[in-house]
Amino acid sequence: MNKRILSIALASLMLVPVAGVAQKSQPTMKDVLGKYFLIGAAVNVNTVWNRDAKAAEVVKKNFNSIVAENCMKGEEIHPEENVYDWKDADQTVKFGEENGLTVIGHCLVWHSQAPKWMFVDKEGKTVSREVLIDRMYHHITEVVGRYKGRIKGWDVINEAFNDDGTYRETPYYKIIGPEYFELAFKFAHAADPDAELYYNDYSMSKPEKREAVCRLVRNLKAKGCRIDAVGMQSHNGLDYPDLTDYENSIKALAKEGVKVQFTELDLNMLPNPQNFGGAEISQHANYMKKMDPYKKGLTKNAQKQFNERYLAFFKIYKKYAKDIERVTIWGVDDGTSWLNDWPIPGRTNYGLLIDRNYQVKPVVKDIIKLFE
């Protein structure tokens, strides 16, 4: 073998393993965390219609579950009495099925983003208890029935308690009374007996709210209703919730015999307006430059805090994995996250695990390591 051939042979020997390593793709969250619980993202209509093709790709690669960010909510899917708009919801379910993603339904009974007509008659007067029960029945039966066997589980009721554990005075509560909980769960179960049924809320680590939701689980079970899991939304910040309180809620819910889900996980990196708390979508404050400090990117220190905080949450998810059914990030990438516009519009936030260029953030590697 002459010298030239020898050096080519040696070089190619050295290249083979290098090329081999380069080609082997890194495991993603669904590959590793997926062995413990579902790991999902809330998707918007641009993703499921592939108008945002990069978002669609990133979802398929990193997650094994989806939930509709908006298009299955009352005001979107049921804009008028007896008029349903199925287009986007149908496409969401199709997108999930075609890509092997477990589809979750959000949400059937919620006072926000509710159909405006639901609570009033043609003259604009509040409807009677009987009428609202009937409307709720039809809404739940039609929506759940349409996707029977195709949606793993539904957020039946969303955000029905105040942070102090009292009943939130929603139109459902005021018109029907507390019996609406039981009715909604029964209607949903009748429409798809195999679907799992969930209660979902924010600020779930507050002790009074935790107590109220545990009581709800007991009451529903005592009345013979199916309830499989409780969703702790987890719209978190750097200094809330308190992690011990958060863990205590997981423990308390697991003790009630339901699974725990983290249904709307994100991490607000921006300063909050005064009196801000929870994830009340009606909270708004005006834009101010000083409330939007990271227009050009997080500082090193903020980046470090982001990483540490996300890792702290995922450490908890690992610790309680046997009680956890699902972790869903509320959105796909930072560019389209609702945190850019809530509670202050027009800001630049960094709350998710995928950045504005659809790149998986460095912390994800460390999260994956935790579970390997």
Site for ligand XIL in 197-236 (CB under 6 A): 233
Long-range contacts at 332-336 (CB < 8 A, ≥ 24 apart): 332/41, 332/42, 332/43, 332/44, 332/47, 332/55, 332/58, 332/59, 333/55, 333/58, 333/358, 336/44, 336/46, 336/52, 336/55
Is 52 a binding residue for ligand XIL by CB under 6 A? The answer is: no
The SS3 of residue 4 is helix
Q: How far is the CB of 330 from ligand XIL (least distance, A)?
A: 6
Site string for ligand XIL, 116-155 (x = CB under 6 A): ----------------------------------------
Which DSSP helix (H) or strand (E) runs through 329? Answer: strand 324-329
- Separation between Cα atoms, residue 74 and residue 106, nearest integer Å: 10
CA distances from 10 to 2, 19, 238, 364 (A): 12, 14, 53, 37
Q: How far is the CB of 102 from ligand XIL (least distance, A)?
A: 18
Binding mask 268-287 for ligand XIL (x = CB under 6 A): -----------x-x------
- Give the gyration radius of the chain's Cα atoms: 23
Tokens for 195, please give them.
Answer: 């679907």
Q: Does 265 bind ligand XIL (CB under 6 A)?
A: no
109 contacts 172 by C-beta, under 8 angstroms? yes
CB of 112 vs ligand XIL, minimal distance in Å: 7
CB of 364 to ligand XIL, least distance (A): 21
Near ligand XIL by CB under 6 A: residue from 158, 236, 328, 348: 158
> Vertex 202, ends 193 and 150: CA angle to 5°?
25
Q: Which is nearer to ligand XIL, 38 or 232 (CB)?
A: 232
338 makes contact with ligand XIL (CB under 6 A): yes
Give yes or no: 81 in active site. no
Point out the catalytic residue in the list 159, 179, 208, 372. Answer: 159
Q: Is 182 a catalytic residue?
A: no
Q: At 355, list the tokens.
A: 């950045």
Positions that interact with ligand XIL (CB under 6 A): 69-70, 158, 233, 264, 279, 281, 338
Active-site positions read: 159, 264
